[in-house]
Amino acid sequence: MSAQPVPTPVGLPIVIRDMTSDDVAAIMAIEHRAYEFPWTDVNFLDSLRSGYIGRIAERQGGELVGYAMLMPAVDDLHVLNLCVAPLFQGRGIGQQLLRDARRVALSRDIYAVLLEVRPSNTHAIRLYERFGFHEIGRRRNYYPARNNTREDAIVMRVKVKREPVNDVAV
């Protein structure tokens, strides 16, 4: 994937590039500011070692402002983690990362992008809906929550290209 500056809707130039293990310390700083139940550095490093696709959004000059961890599967590109630093939310960076995920899916001939989101994360849900995602199901007790409880996940999917027609006679 190329790293090209892309202006966000409010004019903040952003470069999207591949994630490396050297990015994990900066990712963890954002992860802990953005989430009550963050991933660990081991989650990110294991994902990279497993061949998952890490993508970084950074300002020109190298300041990391967002990231996504993507897992290619047979028919879906699964967004495992997508995060924008709290100070940079609402500036179109999440949209840039979703567009980048779409490009990754298309480059691998994958037909759809899939993700889970907490029902309580209404800002993210609105972003995903604007991008064309729709709810296809729920995962019960998927996320850790306060007071040693669990929160469901909404499973959302968007098609990024037409699936081929299977001409096999039955």
pLDDT per residue as tens digits for the range 71-120: 999 889 999 999 999 999 999 999 999 999 999 999 999 999 999 999 99
The CATH number linked to 134 is 3.40.630.30
Task: Please name every residue paired with 57 in a beta bridge, in sequence order, or none if there are none.
Answer: 16, 66
Indicate whether 170 belongs to any domain: no
How many CB atoms neighbour CB 101 within 10 A? 25
**Residue 112 covered by a domain:** yes
Whether 155 maps to a domain, the answer reads yes
pLDDT at 162 over 90: no
Which residue segment(s) compose the domain that 22 sits in? 5-159
pTM: 0.88
> In the chain, how many domains are there?
1
Work out the pLDDT band at 161, boundaries 50, 70, 90: confident
What the block records as the tokens of 129 is 């809906």
Show which residues are catalytic: 116, 128
Residue range 127-135: average pLDDT?
97
Does residue 166 sit within a domain? no
The answer as to whether 76 is a domain residue is yes
Residue 64 or 166, more confident: 64
